[in-house]
Structure 1
Amino acid sequence: MKTTLGEEIMLLALDDETGVVQERTRADHAVAAATLAELALAGRIGIVDGKVAVHDRSPMNVPALDTALEAIAAHEKPAEPYAWVSRLAGTAVADARRGLLDKGLVREVRKKRWGVFSVSRYPEADGAPEAALRAGLARVVLDGTDPDERQSALLAVVHGAGLHKAAFAEADQRAVARRMELLSQGNWAAVAVRKALENLQIAFIAST
């Protein structure tokens, strides 16, 4: 059962018992950045002159990735990675959530908020894949093992989004940040998600 990088970000961000996303804004943008990173690993997109370019339009037969690829390919003007992180966040999160449900890794629980508004939560249904994911990341970040290509991409996004605590709640956060900064050097996905979040913060400050 292969999970996408976006789904893996969701697994790290979701509280296993309550099904609530931790640091939601950061997590949402991280899922989008992870989707871009996975498309790049598959050779579907790349960065040309600082902007996202489609190299191969052939589908990957993974709904979340194909939806994102189609959106990028259909856009008339090339855009920077951080712009795509912001544009894809909503759709990427919905697709990642659906993927986890379809794989049976989480379950949907509907509740009423204040007795009026219906909200959905996604507590854990099968914890084995997440446990294996966390163990692999811990070997890289905490034990110093060299990461594989997917782990490098995932950790770069986690670092860029500032989701260190979601991934390594019990570890020394300063040591985790130092190690992940080293691993993320030169990774465009880490820069993209960080800049997208910075722009969001600037827009919020301006609006208030």
Structure 2
Amino acid sequence: MRITLAEEITLLSLDDESGAVKQRQSVGWAVAGALLIELVLAKRVRVSGTYLELVDSPPIGEELLDGRAESIRTWMRGRSKRRVSDWLAKDQAKAIGAAVERLSGRGVVVEERRKALGMFPVRRFPEADGTVERELRERLAAAVLKGAEPDERTASLIAVIHAAGLHGLAFPGSPGKEIKARTAELADGQWAAESIRSAIRDMRLAMAAVTAATVT
């Protein structure tokens, strides 16, 4: 089963048993960035410098991506371009929920509803089909741990993982220093078009700004 980059990031972040999202703030930025990058790969949007532009093209046929493209169109309000960082800041709070719903619709995770302390409604999404995550982790391990040459989508995924600092979620138990060095090498490679590089760069800058503001 092929899932989107955003769903892959989300799947890596979900606890297999409880279905809770780990590192939720960083994952939110990563999922929003992954959605945008996949829209760039599909030529539905274009990133020029720090600006985001819509491309007049037919639907992709993937509801998660087509839905995001329409959300961007609405957000643009008829403008020819808007800042990438502004869109990511807007979308990061909602991106995880959209990706989880799509994973649930595919049967990869299952929705569970319960009440915390008997009062507060809580939704969790434990894994239902482990083969998708297993194949995903094998693909990442081949590129990062075994030195295989990743395709464009896998390289994009690794770049997002590196930018968001999700090394521990993607490669649990592996030496952190070595993982970061290899993901940095792949992220800085020549595989990506400038529009993808710009989207990843803006995601990192936006995350850094939010982190600095939170600390302050």
The answer to whether 1:197 aligns with 2:196 is: no
Alpha-carbon distance, 1:190 to partner: 2.9
Residue in 1 that maps onto 2:84: 81
The normalised TM-score by structure 2 is 0.89
Deviations 1:119-176 (A, max 9, x none): 1111110000110010001000011111101001111111111000000001111111
Between the aligned partners of 1:131 and 1:119, the Cα distance in structure 2 is: 27
Match of 2:142 among 130, 139, 144: 139
Amino acid at match of 2:15: D
2:39 corresponds in structure 1 to 39
2:12 equivalent to 1:12: yes
**CA distance change for structure 1 residues 79 and 202 in 2, over 3 Å: closer, same or farther?**
farther
Give SS of 2:16's match. Answer: coil
Corresponding residue of 2:151: 148
Quote how far apart the aligned CAs of 1:71 are.
2.5
| 1:159 equivalent among 154, 158, 162 | 162
- RMSD (CA atoms): 1.6
Contact (CA 8 Å) 1:64, 1:92: kept in 2 or not? no
Correspondences of 1:32-181 after superposition (within 5 Å): 32-74=32-74, 75-76=76-77, 77=79, 78-181=81-184
TM-score normalized by structure 1?
A: 0.92
Paired letter, 2:210: L
Distance change (3 Å), C-alpha of 1:155 and 1:189: farther
- Cα distance in structure 2, aligned partners of 1:124 and 1:188: 33
Contact 2:26–2:164 under 8 Å retained in 1 = yes
Identity %: 38
**Cα distance in structure 1, aligned partners of 2:7 and 2:52:** 22
Q: Deviations over 1:89-122 (max 9, x none)?
A: 2332222111100111111112211221011111
The number of residue pairs the alignment matches comes to 206
The match for 1:183 is 186
- Is the 2:7–2:100 Cα contact (8 Å) retained in structure 1? yes
**Is 1:68–1:92's contact at 8 Å kept on the other side of the alignment?**
no
Tell me, which stretches of 5 or more residues in structure 1 are unaligned? Answer: none
Residues 68 and 88, structure 1, Cα contact 8 Å, conserved in 2:
no
